[in-house]
Structures are given as structure tokens and as C-alpha cells.
Structure 1
Amino acid sequence: MGSFSIGKEIFPSPQILSFFLHELVAHYLSLEFPKRYKVGELKNEKDIHDMKDLSMGIEIKASSNATQIFANRSYAQPSSDSETKDKNGYYITINFEKISKFNPRPKITIIRFGYLEHKDWIAQKAATGQQARLKPEAYKNKLIEIYRAIK
């Protein structure tokens, strides 16, 4: 039986890489500060759940787009009840390169942090559209760039 390597024979899709980044950031923060944070598990918990102050929980969004971040269309609407997590709050956003045979070791290109509200998102117009994107003003005024890869 042969061996396989990511970036050599296996090239995870951007959705898979986004999932791993999402999980790793939350898990590492919960390991670093176990009395404060845990990985969100319930529908009403943020991705990084703050056990001392619910308003300080953090959502994580990752994208292989060079500069933009996307979310589910519902992020552009006010939260409807206490059973779902509040879409207003703190966010860590991560942009990363796609993995391919031409780029077997992709980099994280941008990390941002900030406070976003549902009105910072623009929902797709089509009734079947499932995506929301951030308004340009959100990048400019609400998200602080804390890391950018050197080209």
C-alpha cells in the first residue's frame, strides 16, 4: 500500500482547507485559554465560545479569495431568536491560497479581526443565492488587519 501526501497527490478543496483553519483556530485558542474559551458546539454559541462573557465570543470566517470574506446569506439578516447565535459580534477572518500541484504549500495571506454587524453583510439578490459578502466599508473601517503575508 502506497503513501499519499497533501499537496502532492491530494489537493483539498478551498472548503476543506477553510474547515480545517476554522477548527484549528478555535481549538488552539481553547487550549491556550481553557478557562475562558471553548470550541462552540451549540447552535447559539459562536465558533469560539467565551464562557465568561457571551458577548465576547468570536466567529471565524475563512476564504480562498485573495481579499474578500463570505458567509451564509443569513448573516445579512438580524438574528431571529436566542436559539441561534447572534451574527453581530467579533470576527476573525482568514484569507488563504488554494492548494494545487503548482502551489503545494499554500500560505495564509491575510488575517483580520473586528466587530461586524448583520448590516455589514450584503446578501445575494437571487432568491436561490446562499451567499453574503462584506461591504467595502467593513474592510476599511471595521476589520483590523493583524497579518499579511509578504509576497
Structure 2
Amino acid sequence: MKKNLVFVLVFTLLMGAGTIYASGNPGQNLSEWYKNAFHKESEKLGAATATGMILVLKEVNVFVRDSKKSIDYALASFRDDKVKEAESGIEKYQVDTINSLNATVNKLENVNFNDYVDKQNIEAQIDQEFEKMVEDVFSE
């Protein structure tokens, strides 16, 4: 009998608890719980997103800064190479010109200008004598 009495008491207690719970609005309780849980999770997600975006922006900033340094270095290297190329070309042209002038000077130093002048004088004398002969031949 004790068992039956305990069983009836537990059954009555559970029925009463179920009635009290059923008399409340379980949909509203669930809705409030969902709103609170959603609000907490959305705050966590928003904080995580903001933190992630800040980290990404910092990484992008570092990448841009490193890229700028790399581009600056590449441009400076390119410019230096082109300047060296131009200087090398100018120096080669200068050396070639000096060598050409020195070769011309050597050739001119080896030429005997007295022979050239004598040759010109001989040609002038031959021209004069030829003209004189032609005059003599036609004047006769």
C-alpha cells in the first residue's frame, strides 16, 4: 500500500507540475531563450568578425608596405642597371673615338708632307710645261 500511496503522490505532483508548466506560455519562453541566445551569439560573431577584419586589414597594410618596398627596390635596381649600361656605352664610344683619332694621328705622322708638296709642285710644273708645249705647237 505504501507503494501505491507513493505512486499516487508522485503522479499528482507530476500532474501539478505539468499543469503549471502548461499554463505558462512555452512558446514565449522558447522565443525569449532563442532571442537571448541569438543576441549572445551574434555579439560573439560580430566581435570575431571585427577582430578578423582588423587583422586582415593589418596584414593587407603590411603586404602593401612590403610590396611598395619591393617595387621601389626593383625600380632602383632597374634604373641603376640602365644608368650603368648608358655609362658603359658612352665610355666605349669615347674609347673607340680616341683610338680612331690616335690611329689617324699615327697615319698622318707617317705621311711625308714634303713629298706631297713636292709631288704637287711637280704636277704644277708638268701642267705649266704642257701648256707651254701646247702653245708652242699651236702657235707655229
TM-score by structure 2 length? 0.15
TM-score by structure 1 length? 0.14
Query: Larger % of strand: which?
Result: 1
